[in-house]
Amino acid sequence: MIWSKYSYLFQEADRFYLYNSLSNSFAELDKSTYNLISQQIKDKETINISDESLRETLVKMKVIVENEQEEFARIKYKSLFRRFSNSLLSLTINPTLDCNFACPYCFEGKHPQVYMSDQVEEEVISFVKRHEAAKTLKVVWFGGEPLLAFSRMRSLTQKFLDLGLKYEAGIITNGYLLTDRVVKHLDDLCIKSIQVTIDGMKEVHNSRRCLRTGHPTFDRIIENIKYVHDICPNIKLNVRVNIDHTNERDFLELYKMFQKEEFLGIHLTPAFVDDIENTNKCVLNSEEQNKYINRLLKENGVVFRRFYPKPSQECFVRNPNSVVIGPEGELYKCWNDVGKKDKVYGYLDGRITNEPLLFRYLAASDPFDDTQCKECILLPVCGGGCPYNRIKRDYENNNINVCPLIKGNLKTYLLNHCTIKK
């Protein structure tokens, strides 16, 4: 047996710690144990642990493993199993690209007012039926603003349920149309999760996320969130905040607001805006993002789940059974590509019109072929990062950072985790 390459030992003042990313385990050690382990790892010595209980614990933490090849194979197997599993059919459905908002940063620009037709609806059902091995169907409603096509959502859902598959759905919405008429049907639609975006307090949000008419949206969205939370307490509500230099101060105020009793159970997620096209000067770089997150904790006590490394399964983009469906029956692999004609790889009727693009998403820029990833201590929890970003980097000459924020700051994040656990 050997010492795992995915172990990380560090000291802070008079306290000693051991983290292993393969098991995602974290422990505080006494000084003598720390010195014993660190010295053996440093000198690449044969494992010499006389304390049987300690040895068993280290094996359980996967600090001690059979061999390096077994470690890597374990990580790769988990990823490949997810890639090629056909028991789950995962669909992101855009019933329309139309939107009632006019957000300046939106990737869809002018929002083509295209809605899914009855014919495309039938093609969606036929598409699902052809995936005979699938036992579970999961749908994410996306857009545009999917609730503008609420009747289509209801119609498709009923037909999905008639197929007899295990079924559940989520929705990504701007929240403005979460009215009584919609909310009372959420259970019928099997909605288990809702993501709503709020980009700051009232003034900032309304400047970034207004109606096409220019009218504000903040107050109504907040009331709608409260209503969903009261009427459908079992639905997971996530409020996403897109953060850049123009609104970074607002996140703290929004966080404080969502700590009030009427919002308890609603999760607030900071989402740093990516500069995918290398054109946005307002984007925080990785160093600024780390400083921002740590400052919120140290100065304001804001707690993030992301302080502790969260095992990340590779995106379903890699799985042939994961598809993004546009309103005209066009197929994409990633929802970042919706509305981009050059990123359509085929159609619901079975036609593949851009095979190189399809196989690029399925198999190219593989982290298990990437020397840097293979040697990275965080590979077991990172999984190589976002495939979309990896492909942008490797095939479109984009210098986007594909590594998680925690890389290069592992000690800080683990200590932050200790802080919030006390």
| Calpha distance 97→146 (Å, rounded) | 8
Please give the domain boundaries of the chain with CATH numbers for all domains: 2-66 (no CATH), 68-422 (3.20.20.70)
Extract the tokens encoding 325: 């469906």
Question: Residue 99: CB partners within 8 Å, gap ≥ 6?
Answer: 106, 108, 111, 143, 144, 145, 148, 174, 212
pLDDT of residue 399: 84
Query: Residue 95 in contact with residue 327, Cβ under 8 Å?
Result: yes
Question: Residue 170: CB partners within 8 Å, gap ≥ 6?
Answer: 138, 139, 140, 141, 191, 192, 193, 194, 195
| Calpha distance 89→169 (Å, rounded) | 12
* Residue ranges of the chain whose pLDDT lies below 50: 278-279
| Calpha distance 260→220 (Å, rounded) | 18
Report the relative pairing of strands 346-347 and 166-173 from DSSP bridges.
unpaired
Query: Residue 174 in contact with residue 196, Cβ under 8 Å?
Result: yes
Query: Residue 339 in contact with residue 108, Cβ under 8 Å?
Result: yes
| Calpha distance 370→349 (Å, rounded) | 35
Strand partners, 65: 2
User: 3-class DSSP state for residue 266?
Assistant: coil
Nearest CA to 218 out of 272, 193, 254 is that of 254
How buried is 260 (Cβ within 10 angstroms: 0-12 exposed, 13-18 middle, 19+ buried)? exposed
pLDDT of residue 28: 96
- The reported pTM is 0.91
Extract the tokens encoding 320: 């042939």
pLDDT of residue 223: 97
| Calpha distance 291→30 (Å, rounded) | 30
pLDDT of residue 278: 47
